[in-house]
Structure 1
Amino acid sequence: MNYPDTYYSRTLTERKERPALSGSVDCDTVVIGGGLAGLTTALQLARAGQKVVVLEAKSVGFGASGRNGGFVSAGYATGVEQIARMSSAETARQLYLMSIEGVDFVRDTIARLGISGADPVDGVTSVMRYDDGAGMRSHASEVRRMYGQQLEYLDMVRVRQNLKSARYFHGLRDRKAFHIHPLNYLRGITDEIERLGGVICENSPAVSTDLAPYRKQVRTSNGAVIARTVVFATGGYTGRLNPRLKRAMLPIATYVMVSEEAPQLIASAITTRDGIGDNRRAGDYYRLVDGGRRLLWGGRITTRSASTAGLVQELRREMTNTYPQLRDLKTELAWSGLMAYARHLMPQIGEMQPGVWHCTAFGGHGLNTTAIGGKVVAEAILGQSNRHHLFTPFGLDWAGGVAGLAVAQLTYWKLQAQDWWRERAA
């Protein structure tokens, strides 16, 4: 199987390999990209009776979809206030509600399909690294009023009961958010698409397209798919096949490490199964995996290829600064993956031309937003809704190329500095 060496690839519950495309195939819709967005789109179309073909260049979930932190929680890569400035207050409200719907979709899909290997664990807690309990309580009250979202405020005593760190002050717990094994989730979806008659072709990179109005064709090295509709869902691994899409996103690398098996040592620092993320603008996230026997810790971004080993040292430094008692916890495995970011930090979802759709750029907040993105694209293709228009303000703007990558890296460093200063002042 064509996967990088990650905790997820090592703990797959099934290892079925799917053949590459060979010859010519006719279908209703061809989806390019076998990640979360593409497979969710294909699943919804197959459920509606469409004949669907998915072309994946490597193996399903090869990219960031199968390498991420596994957190399923509401929201986008940017905040509601910024979304409202780019669109309107009502659009921002509806989009946030859709992100909650995305969380529900993933949970319901796991239950409906019986994807036991997804291993959902309830609860995600956001912790604050400076003292502003009033601000956290106010935020909890606001999201309850606006969206009906129930966030539980945790004072410092309760936070430090579960997280033995002097770095943390307050927290907000979302009991409806959860964390999962994303690669097993994806492969469960893939099995269902095939059960419904869909075709998944791995090791089948699309090399060219003919996007004529009535009869579209996507070619690979060994075959071609003829379809009425094409969906591009290529994320951070978007290549030259679609220049307009490629120029509209920035590939950003993020890094994850998993510890050795050391349940007692880990329990000296962390006694909750909640997924944890801090409130910093350049923060880290972590959770217990393997039944609490290992710690998965992620964070840091770079805009160009970097040494994973070097970035792991930074992650370890952050981990031990937060939890000095974990200084002897060894890192067993580390990896990186490419996320797609747009300049506006919102998903890019819509119809590029008649019958040609895109669903990409989820900016590191993809498990819920890819679900809702794939769902609304499928709804539009099927004529069931026009909810994709909510994403119209967040178009395929040029991301700036090399200069855009440089600005993104400088912005990240600036956020790190602001985080450091804010915590030092506290």
Structure 2
Amino acid sequence: MTLDRREFMLKMAGISGMGIMSTSIPLLTAVNSSGAEYTTDIPKPVLLRDTRNTATRLGIDPRIWNWHRDADTSAAMPANYYEASLSEWPEFGRLPADQTCDVVIIGGGLLGASTALHLAEAGLDVIVIEKDNVGSGASGRNGGQITPGLARWDAATMMSHLSTDEARRLWHFCGAEAMELIDDLSARHNFACERKRGHMTTAVHAGHMGYLVENADARKELGDPAVRIIGSHELKDYIRSDIYYGAAVDSGGGQVHPLALLRGLVYGFIRKGGRIYEKTAMQGLEKTPSGAVVTTHYGTIKARKAVVLAVHSYTSWLLPNHSTTMPFFTYVAVTPPLPMDVRELLPADMPVYDTQLQIDYYRAVRDNRLLFGGQGTGNSWSPRDVNNYLLDRIRTVFPQLQDPELEYSWSGISDITINGVTDCRKNDDPVPVYAVHGWNGHGVAQTVRIGKAVSDDVTGRNDDFLMLTHFEHKQIPLNNYIGPVVIPLVKGALGLKSMLTPADVVSF
């Protein structure tokens, strides 16, 4: 038996050795139909041999933070591991004047960049605006693990809510198609993002093996043979830890450097003639007879064909009463180069999720480091508390790694829905507004695939996006304010459930 957050809350609710490329590299410019200059070429993102100790150049939400063990706390905030392991990246200027285009995209994360790139490849004139910098949000701050499924919905959940044909189509969409799309885009636009294949879900209780078997069986029923179940003895070929009883080995999942992936998508978009403006926040959205007008502090942008809200903080423009998601805080850390070969911990070099209530997720990253993440909280924990928690988890999983240290840690903000599935919407305006939010901590691959689905819907290629709009979502009154109270209560109740029935998989 399994009981996840979706069921519980429904009941309760009724980057290589090429060096650092300077941002002073001249950028080619062109002039659009509005007479405004925009960049037509940018340097390709380059993965460095190791990290560089540098201050962040990304403006981030004031509620979150970056920590580095050697940083001066009175100086500028340090870069997180992803930014520090990539070459310098140019800043995009603010919106220079009023402009017109086919599609305006709000948000410069993976969803916005993928949507923009696919639309530009289809020949549309696209503008992306970002209130901070490209990669400032969750797309540049997550664990970098790519897994199939639509947010928290796995194959078994899909089969319990949909017909077999519907579940098979949806699973293929957010599984094999999402993974293959990342590979196709990186090859087509010739950028590197440390894409590796293979992923594992490990059982922290013997009773959790039934859950893994059930989901593997559901995946096979949906035409996906990529997962197999292994026991504790074979598991030693993958993970040198004694706390697990077995695992599901998924050859279709994997890992990626998420900020390198994002910058690669942006690199392709700009080379296709796209325009990005940073430090440009949307202030309003107005319908007019000739299109939709996005208002910013620096001018307006009129969209002839569509507006895409690719960041959860703006979905209130589409859902004016209250939203269907609630923000929560996440945490990730990276060790310095380990004193032992990281392959002695992870011989198969596969990223890991486990089945405990508050999951651990971890993977080996370049230069013999270990990336480790965990916890989801309603308010922001301090670097000290996060580091202490993650170090304790590392010691629990890998006691042979004596006195582990952290070099980087950072927090982020994601969003959750009550039912655990991503909320995708499109209104009926002549110039439609698209909104996608509620990634539930599992959106790295799916954001890229759904970006293509939005593009395909705008251009009339298929009805994939329509498929994603059919799920019913509960609204969450005061959604931006109740997390510090509701999330601890839900976690506490789920924790009690986990203690009473430890053989059940109870996930948050």
Task: Look up the match of 1:380.
Answer: 457
Q: Is the 8 A contact 2:155 2:215 kept in 1?
A: no
Task: Look up the match of 1:6.
Answer: 80
Where in structure 2 are the equivalents of 1:271-290 lying within 5 Å?
A: 271-290=347-366
Considering fraction of residues, name the structure with more helix. 1
CA–CA distance in 2 between the matches of 1:344 and 1:55? 30
CA–CA distance in 1 between the matches of 2:308 and 2:265? 17
User: Quick check: 1:220 aligned with 2:296?
Assistant: yes
Task: Look up the match of 1:41.
Answer: 115
Q: How many residues align?
A: 423
Task: Look up the match of 1:174.
Answer: 250
**Deviates most, 158-167 or 95-104:** 158-167
Where in structure 2 are the equivalents of 1:156-175 lying within 5 Å?
A: 156-175=232-251
Any gaps of 5 or more consecutive residues in structure 1? none
Picking from 309, 314, 326, the partner of 2:384 is 309
Which string of whole-angstrom CA distances, capped at 9 and with x for unpartnered residues, describes residues 227-258 of structure 1?
A: 121110113x4486566386222111111011
CA RMSD of aligned residues (A): 2.5
User: Quick check: 1:65 aligned with 2:139?
Assistant: yes
Q: Secondary structure at the match of 1:216?
A: strand
Task: Look up the match of 2:70.
Answer: none
Q: 1:335 to 1:264 in 2, by over 3 A?
A: same
What residue identity is the alignment partner of 1:7? Y
Q: Secondary structure at the match of 1:344?
A: coil
Task: Look up the match of 2:332.
Answer: 256
**Deviates most, 53-62 or 74-83:** 74-83
Task: Look up the match of 2:476.
Answer: 399
Which string of whole-angstrom CA distances, capped at 9 and with x for unpartnered residues, describes residues 128-166 of structure 1?
A: 112255654454343123222321322211212332221
Q: 1:112 to 1:78 in 2, by over 3 A?
A: same
Q: Is the 8 A contact 2:155 2:219 kept in 1?
A: no
Which 4+ stretches in 1 moved above 6 angstroms? Answer: none
User: Quick check: 1:32 aligned with 2:106?
Assistant: yes
Where in structure 2 are the equivalents of 1:118-157 lying within 5 Å?
A: 118-132=193-207, 133=209, 136-137=212-213, 139-157=215-233
Task: Look up the match of 2:439.
Answer: 362
What residue identity is the alignment partner of 2:424? I
Q: 1:223 to 1:57 in 2, by over 3 A?
A: same
Q: Is the 8 A contact 1:140 1:152 kept in 2?
A: yes
Task: Look up the match of 1:390.
Answer: 467
Q: Is the 8 A contact 1:68 1:182 kept in 2?
A: yes
What residue identity is the alignment partner of 2:123? G
Task: Look up the match of 2:487.
Answer: 408
TM-score by length of 2: 0.77
**Deviates most, 387-396 or 7-16:** 387-396
Picking from 268, 285, 297, the partner of 1:209 is 285
**Deviates most, 87-96 or 161-170:** 87-96
TM-score by length of 1: 0.91
CA–CA distance in 1 between the matches of 2:338 and 2:294? 49
Q: Is the 8 A contact 1:38 1:359 kept in 2?
A: no
Q: Is the 8 A contact 1:42 1:52 kept in 2?
A: yes
Where in structure 2 are the equivalents of 1:226-245 lying within 5 Å?
A: 226-228=302-304, 229-235=306-312, 237-238=313-314, 244=320
CA–CA distance in 2 between the matches of 1:138 and 1:304? 34
How far the C-alpha of 1:180 sits from its partner, in A, is: 0.7
CA–CA distance in 2 between the matches of 1:111 and 1:384? 23
User: Quick check: 1:337 aligned with 2:415?
Assistant: no
CA–CA distance in 2 between the matches of 1:339 and 1:213? 36
Q: Is the 8 A contact 2:92 2:278 kept in 1?
A: yes
CA–CA distance in 1 between the matches of 2:155 and 2:437? 19
Q: Percent identity?
A: 27
Q: Is the 8 A contact 2:156 2:215 kept in 1?
A: no
CA–CA distance in 2 between the matches of 1:349 and 1:136? 28
Q: Is the 8 A contact 1:377 1:388 kept in 2?
A: yes
**Deviates most, 294-303 or 337-346:** 337-346
What residue identity is the alignment partner of 1:247? S
Q: Is the 8 A contact 2:105 2:116 kept in 1?
A: yes
Q: Secondary structure at the match of 2:400?
A: helix
**Deviates most, 77-86 or 192-201:** 77-86
